[in-house]
Amino acid sequence: MSLLPLDKLPGPLPATTPGPDPAPTHSPTHSPSYSRHSLRALSLLPLLLVAVWAAFDWRTVSDGAVQLASADPLWLLSAFFFMCMGWVAAACVRQGAVPERLPPGLLLASQVAAGTANHVLPASIGAHAVTLRFLQRQGISLTRGTASLALYSLVKPLAKTVVLLVFLLAFPGVLGLAELVPDERTLHLIAGSAGLALAVAALLLKFVHPLRRPILNFVRTALTDARILHTRPSRVLALWGGAAATPLLQASVIASVGFALGLPLSWAQVTFALLVASTAAGAVPAPGGIGPIDAALIFTMVLFGAPMSLATATIIGYRVLTIWVPLLPGMLVLSWLVQRKVL
């Protein structure tokens, strides 16, 4: 019996007969054009937030613009300079909180963007989120980046306390502290709140076992990085010097705006008013401290002898200069960093 050749067999062979190639399937989530459009939409989102916020807070913008239009332009220029130096101080503190050397230009740009994001979300969440993303893009792990944020958050109030104590020693009679000292009930409330927070943290570590290991690893990483940083004089200077300079620069912005409007207070009084107000109202999670710190600042400046109307005008002008003037440039920088995949 002879076998027929393969090409003479009746009917096709399904296993060997070639068919048309299946059409390539691309998931939209992995399409290059989809990713490009998503990145573009994400970079335009900050500009949309600016427009929405301006619509809701337009009265503050218009009132502040009217106040600043009649102010001394040289003092306003000085206030703008001190505001820009605040970004430099923030970049110094961020660099001092990590052992690795960060690119200075991108670091400064990230702090401009972080300052803008800080005015959108409460309790510095926006600034920390931008900075953490920037650190991760620079090759720093999530744990170590979070540890640097914790060190940053710890050093800033400690440095502010040191500055406050220096002012108390340097200007004991000029500031008039009797009316600003909290009463015994307030001190007991502060001490009780701090003790309760420590007790809750201790109970969580003891009884919630899934949290114990990540928290202990985080603390170990944070302590190791802090020890390494404090063996480098350049990091110590950047960390503590930048943290101490931050409230002084912020107070200089307020004082310059006040001098431009004719505020009858000295720079030392305005600085001390800011230190007291930010300490008293810093626990309230408002975006960028807007609201609680404003009220505390006006109250403190009135205690120092400023007219209520002039103190209010100073704070409104200060907010317009530090929030609304850099808001659009800051959002543009944020969008540029997103497009460049720095964030």
Report the phi/psi class of residue 208: left, alpha or beta, with left for phi > 0 and alpha for psi in -120 to 50: beta
Does 39 score more than 50 pLDDT? no
161 pLDDT higher than 70 = yes
* Mean pLDDT of the residues in the chain: 77
H-state helical runs in the chain: 32-56, 58-69, 73-96, 104-118, 125-137, 142-170, 184-207, 209-229, 233-236, 242-261, 267-281, 292-303, 308-319, 325-339
- 221 or 111: which leads in pLDDT: 111
* Banded model confidence at residue 43, pLDDT cuts 50, 70, 90: very low
The one-letter code for the residue type at 303 is L
Examine the pLDDT at 30 and tell me if it is beyond 70: no
* C-beta neighbour count of 233 within 10 angstroms: 8
Task: Determine the pLDDT at residue 246.
Answer: 94
- Least confident stretch, 114-123, 149-158, 277-286, 291-300: 277-286
Q: Per-residue pLDDT for 107 more than 90?
A: yes
Q: How far, CA to CA in Å, does 40 sit from each of 321, 329, 335?
A: 29, 17, 9
Question: What average pLDDT does this structure show over 130-159?
Answer: 91
Of the two residues 82 and 117, the one the predictor is more confident about is: 82
Q: DSSP class of residue 122? A: B
- The residue among 315, 266, 324 whose CA lies nearest residue 295 is 315
* pTM exceeding the 0.75 threshold for the entire prediction: no
Whether 145 shows a pLDDT value over 80: the answer reads: yes
pLDDT for the residue numbered 90: 94
Query: Sorting pLDDT into bands at 50, 70 and 90, what band is 27?
Result: very low
Mean pLDDT, to the nearest integer, of 63-77?
Answer: 79
pLDDT-derived band at 93, boundaries 50, 70, 90: very high
Q: How confident is the model at residue 324 (pLDDT cuts 50, 70, 90)?
A: confident
* Residue partners of 217: CB distance under 8 A and separation at least 6: 143
